[in-house]
């Protein structure tokens, strides 16, 4: 390692406990963006991030939006070095169901080498690694080898509605050579990874409305369409028993996997029995002709997320319900157009709806899938940084989840994103007992510190 990096490593070792203490302080703030009762706490979390960045020597500002504020910070003192934009979010998911937590979600508890709290991995702990690495460079060396900008938002868990507006309005201020996001996971315990692809998503809701009120199913049943039966039949037509989505044209633009990529996926360690055991399932199911990793990372899906309708209380109630609703989401893969998928999904539902029912359809904002260049010098820098910090070269993976901002960075700022996840998919994100390994927190912080160094090394190659 180079002398400055040695000093940074030493500083991080000496300040490991303080960094964990700061993370716990951050995790105590219940910054639940979805619930307006917590508005004040969400702002308190933004202010906490602002103060941390200011303490690292960043110029920093809370930028007001129509929703929660965005923290924008920058430390740009190297006119000839690359500029990195770090994105993260300080908001968290609601902690419900509360009775499933072993310790309260906003009272961080350290046990078995992990910190347990809502937001531990998603995304407070992961995001803080980059703040702490900047602080280490600043305090141990005096300045950073690269320019770093931070965009830390408070609305990721509710759809990032104001982020694109912010990036478009402040395009120049956000200009950079590469973006860095730590909001994914390692491939598995002891297997660090870089994620070079994410699926996109579209989400919608369909309601079938029948009679103006619930009816006696003996008196009227059989003479008109039952909205709940009709909805189940409709959603039953979406995917066949081979896992193939039946919406006409759905696969037209899908970018097929290359032989090389399939082989690379096959070379990753994967034990189907362990996978199923973790999920409490006895068999896999999915599109015929694809492996589990291929299905999760590189094939599109159509999932019903929930259905509402009819009588769901105790005991029987013999009615023809007046309406039924389903929430549906599709995960998208590269080259699929979110807008077009929404349109063909709506058309399919309308074409297959039984007569006499009124169908209403709403869709929310979606995002397209992303694939990042794996042969860039930035990618090589990230690989080297992770190898130094984790003692092992990262595997290259794709992920099935979605991070809408990555496509926005490409569109608005014309940059790729390095998705450097320090967490594990088993960290219970969005679930009770969310956790983050303290070892991963420290390794991630060191990897971030090494990344600033490696980006300069690879920049001049
Ligand atoms: N960090 C996740 C996405 C993720 C998880 C990517 C694991 C890769 C591996 C993110 O916070 C998330 O939950 N995103 C949502 C996006 C949606 C609400 C637009 C998702 O994927 O459902
Ligand atoms: Zn999340």
Q: Max CA-CA distance within the chain?
A: 85
Q: Which atom of ligand 1 is nearest to the CA of 89?
A: 11
Q: Considering Cα of 216, then 221, then 225, then 228, what sign does the dihedral take?
A: positive
Please work out whether the CB of residue 183 comes within 6 Å of at least one atom of ligand 1: yes
The finding on whether 402 has its CB within 6 A of some atom of ligand 1 is: yes
Among 27, 25, 21, 19, residue whose Cα is nearest residue 95: 27
Number of Cβ atoms within 10 Å of the Cβ of 292: 15
Cα–ligand 2 centroid distance for 103 (angstroms): 21
Q: Which residues are catalytic?
A: 91, 156
Through-space distance between the first and last CA atoms of the chain, rounded to whole angstroms:
18
State residue 460's pLDDT score: 63
Ligand 1, atom 4, residue with closest C-alpha: 401
Beta bridge partners of 203: 329
The per-residue pLDDT string of the chain (461 residues; one tens digit each, 9 = 90 and over) reads 688 999 999 999 999 999 999 999 999 999 999 999 999 999 999 999 999 999 999 999 999 999 999 999 999 999 999 999 999 999 999 999 999 999 999 999 999 999 999 999 999 999 999 999 999 999 999 999 999 999 999 999 998 989 999 999 999 999 999 999 999 999 999 999 999 999 999 999 999 999 999 999 999 999 999 999 999 999 999 999 999 999 999 999 999 999 999 999 999 999 999 999 989 999 999 999 999 999 999 999 999 999 999 999 999 999 999 999 999 999 999 999 999 999 999 999 999 999 999 999 999 878 999 999 999 999 999 999 999 999 999 999 999 999 999 999 999 999 999 999 999 999 999 999 999 999 999 999 999 999 999 999 998 65
Nearest CA to ligand 1 atom 14: 402
State if residue 399 touches ligand 1 by the CB under 6 angstroms criterion.
yes
The DSSP 8-state label assigned to residue 107 in this structure reads S
Strand pairing report for 323-332 and 303-309: antiparallel
Ligand sitting nearest the alpha carbon of 126: 1
Work out the number of other CB atoms within 10 angstroms of the CB of residue 26.
Answer: 23
Give the residue whose CA is nearest to atom 18 of ligand 1.
Answer: 159
Ligand 1 pocket mutation pick from 31, 204, 363, 403 by most atoms within 8 angstroms of CB:
403
What letter would DSSP give residue 94?
Answer: -
DSSP label of 156 = G
Complete edge-to-edge strand list for the sheet that includes strand 358-363: 303-309, 323-332, 200-209, 358-363
403: Cβ below 6 Å to ligand 1? Answer: yes
- pTM for the structure as a whole: 0.94
Expressed in angstroms and rounded, the spacing between residue 402 Cα and the centre of ligand 1 is: 5
Domains of the chain: 3-198+369-459 (3.40.630.10), 200-254+300-367 (3.30.70.360)
The answer, yes or no, to whether any atom of ligand 1 lies below 6 A from the CB of 434, is no
Cβ of 184 less than 6 Å from ligand 1: yes
Nearest to 320 by CA among 221, 219, 234: 221
Which residue minimizes the CA distance to atom 9 of ligand 1? 184
Closest approach atom of ligand 1 to CA 185: 9
Tokens of 378: 């930035």
Residue 161, token pair as written in the block: 């509605």
Ligand 1 centre to CA of 370 (Å) is: 13
For the CA of 159, the nearest ligand: 1
User: Which atom of ligand 1 is found nearest the CA of 195?
Assistant: 8
- Cβ of residue 336 lying under 6 Å from some atom of ligand 1: no
């Amino acid at each position: 390692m180079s002398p400055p990096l040695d000093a940074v490593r030493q500083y991080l070792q000496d300040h490991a406990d303080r960094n964990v203490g700061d993370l716990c302080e951050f995790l105590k703030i219940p910054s639940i963006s979805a619930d307006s009762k917590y508005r004040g706490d969400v702002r308190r979390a933004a202010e906490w991030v602002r103060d941390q960045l200011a303490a690292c020597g960043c110029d920093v500002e809370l930028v007001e939006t129509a929703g929660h504020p965005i923290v924008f910070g920058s430390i740009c003192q190297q006119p000839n070095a690359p500029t990195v934009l770090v994105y993260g979010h300080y908001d968290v998911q609601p902690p419900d169901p509360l009775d499933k937590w072993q310790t309260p979600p906003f009272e961080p508890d350290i046990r078995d080498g992990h910190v347990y709290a809502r937001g531990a991995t998603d995304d407070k702990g992961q995001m803080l690694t980059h703040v702490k690495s900047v602080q280490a460079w600043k305090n141990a060396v005096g300045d950073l080898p690269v320019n770093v900008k931070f965009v830390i938002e408070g609305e990721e868990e509710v759809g990032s509605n104001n982020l694109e507006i912010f990036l478009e309005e402040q395009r120049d201020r956000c200009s950079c050579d590469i973006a860095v996001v730590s909001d994914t996971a390692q491939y598995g315990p002891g297997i660090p990874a870089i994620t070079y692809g994410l699926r996109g998503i579209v989400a919608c809701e369909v309601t079938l409305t029948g009679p103006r009120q619930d009816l006696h199913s003996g008196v009227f049943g059989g003479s008109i369409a039952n909205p709940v039966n009709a909805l189940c039949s409709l959603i039953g037509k979406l995917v066949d028993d081979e896992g193939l989505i039946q919406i006409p044209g759905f696969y037209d633009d899908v970018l097929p996997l290359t032989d090389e990529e399939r082989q690379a996926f096959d070379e990753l360690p994967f034990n189907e029995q362990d996978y199923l055991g973790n999920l409490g399932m006895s068999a896999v199911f999915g599109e015929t002709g694809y492996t589990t990793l291929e299905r999760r990372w590189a094939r599109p899906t159509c999932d019903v997320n929930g259905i509402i309708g009819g009588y769901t209380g105790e005991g029987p109630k013999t009615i023809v319900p007046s309406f039924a609703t389903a929430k549906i989401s599709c995960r998208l893969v590269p080259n699929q157009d979110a807008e077009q998928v929404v349109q063909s999904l709506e058309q399919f539902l309308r074409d297959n709806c039984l007569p006499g029912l009124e169908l209403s359809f709403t869709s929310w904002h979606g995002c397209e899938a992303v694939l990042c260049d794996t042969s860039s010098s930035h990618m090589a820098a990230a690989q080297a940084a992770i190898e130094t910090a984790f003692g092992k070269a990262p595997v290259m993976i794709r992920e099935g989840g979605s991070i809408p901002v990555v496509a926005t960075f490409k569109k608005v700022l014309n940059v790729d994103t390095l998705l450097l996840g320090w967490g594990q998919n088993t960290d219970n994100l969005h679930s009770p007992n969310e956790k983050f390994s303290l070892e991963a927190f420290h390794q991630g912080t060191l990897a971030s510190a090494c990344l600033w160094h490696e980006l300069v090394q690879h920049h001049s190659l």
